[in-house]
Amino acid sequence: MKIVLLGYGKMGKMIEAIALERGHTIACTVSTNKLSMMETEAFTTADVAIDFSTPTSVVHNIHTCFAKNIPVVVGTTGWNNELATITDQCNQQQQALLHASNFSIGVNVFFAINKKLAQLMQPYPSYNISMQEVHHLQKLDAPSGTGISLANDILKNNNNYNDWVLLENKNSNTQIPIEALRKPDVVGFHSITYNSPIDNITISHDAHTRQGFAQGAVIAAEWLVGKKGVFTMNDVLGL
Ligand SMILES: NC(=O)c1ccc[n+]([C@@H]2O[C@H](COP(=O)([O-])OP(=O)(O)OC[C@H]3O[C@@H](n4cnc5c(N)ncnc54)[C@H](O)[C@@H]3O)[C@@H](O)[C@H]2O)c1
């Protein structure tokens, strides 16, 4: 496949290395100082685009891919408010979009465990739920996209709660508080705790390297080519 990389930072560079290892070529890379690459033939003739850019650029990038009939895999987080509109546009224009707040296989299994635990704990409202996520200092969005996915999955599977909020904004017992910490060199840590006066249950995922995200994104791109519609990693992994 000829792949366009939208965003050529920490993730873009790692995706490039894994894509080359898997026998693909990089048609072109687009970053802040190379936005004009989106007008080149190399961009237009690519088989697929992979976007790990910024929350403020991703929606424009997706529209550009739709306009040029390029299937697009999106790992960028922080654009949840636009997802419903983009989903409609993708379906109306018969384009292909695969988005995931987290591409690693381990996190996607963790998502499944989180949903199951939320269902199991539904009859026991004496357990208070809280979440923590820790990321590196450069991360722009808080809570993380993965944290939001985890919180939304709890809300869908446990009706003792009706919202999630950053810990500092909590003002009701029906809100799941998310503590979002930023520390040097943390790739990504997420935990969910059910706390009662009698005991605690905590599940957590700790990413050691970005490699899992990058590998998952390339596998998702391979899967997306030739399809139309809006997909997530659940579709790729059959979860
Ligand atoms: N879904 C996942 O599995 C996953 C994993 C890791 C990171 N992320 C997300 O991916 C995004 C990128 O992360 P990163 O660590 O590589 O960030 P980074 O800051 O290292 O890189 C961002 C890149 O985007 C480029 N950019 C800025 N404006 C652009 C534009 N208009 N078009 C194209 N590129 C543009 C920058 O030049 C830079 O190369 C973040 O939103 C992060 O939260 C998602």
Question: Residue written as tokens 């508080």?
Answer: 177
**C-alpha pair distances (Å), 72 with each of 6, 24, 197, 238:** 10, 16, 47, 20
CA 130 to ligand 1 center in whole angstroms? 28
Give residue-wise pLDDT tens across range 25-74. 999 999 999 999 999 999 999 999 999 999 999 999 999 999 999 999 99
To test ligand 1's pocket by mutation, which of 13, 34, 35, 52 has the most ligand atoms within 8 angstroms of CB?
52
Q: How confident is the model at residue 214 (pLDDT cuts 50, 70, 90)?
A: very high
**What's the CA gap between 121 and 126, in Å, rounded?**
9
* The two three-digit tokens of residue 148, written as one number: 């939001």
Q: Which residues are catalytic?
A: 135, 139
Instruction: List, for residues 124-183, the tens digit of each pLDDT value.
Output: 999 999 999 999 999 989 999 999 999 999 999 999 999 999 999 999 999 999 999 999
pLDDT in tens, 77-135: 999 999 999 999 999 999 999 999 899 999 999 999 999 999 999 999 999 999 999 99
Task: Please tell me whether residue 123 adopts helix, strand or coil conformation.
Answer: coil
pLDDT tens track for 194-204: 999 999 999 99
pLDDT tops 90 at residue 216: yes
pLDDT at residue 228 above 90? yes
CA of 154 to the centre of ligand 1 (A): 27
At 115 the pLDDT is 97
Residue 239 above 90 pLDDT? Answer: no
- Residue 14 CA to residue 95 CA, distance in Å, equals 26
On the 0-12 / 13-18 / 19+ scale of CB atoms within 10 A, 154 is buried
Q: Tokens 């808080």 correspond to what residue?
A: 142
213 lines ligand 1 (CB under 6 A): yes
Burial class (CB in 10 A: 0-12, 13-18, 19+), 100: buried
DSSP tag of 141: S
Domains contained in the chain, CATH given: 2-99+211-237 (3.40.50.720), 105-207 (3.30.360.10)
> How far is Cα of residue 76 from the mean position of the Cα atoms in its chain?
6
Instruction: Indicate which atom in ligand 1 lies nearest the CA of residue 32.
Output: 37
Q: CA 39, CA 4: separation in Å to the nearest integer?
A: 12
* Tokens, residue 61: 């990038």
The dihedrals phi and psi of 90, each to the nearest 5 degrees, come to -60, -45
Asked if 115 contacts 157 with a C-beta cutoff of 8 angstroms, the reply is yes
Q: How far is the CA of 239 from the centre of ligand 1 (A)?
A: 26
**Backbone dihedral angles phi then psi of residue 180, each to the nearest 5 degrees:** -110, 110
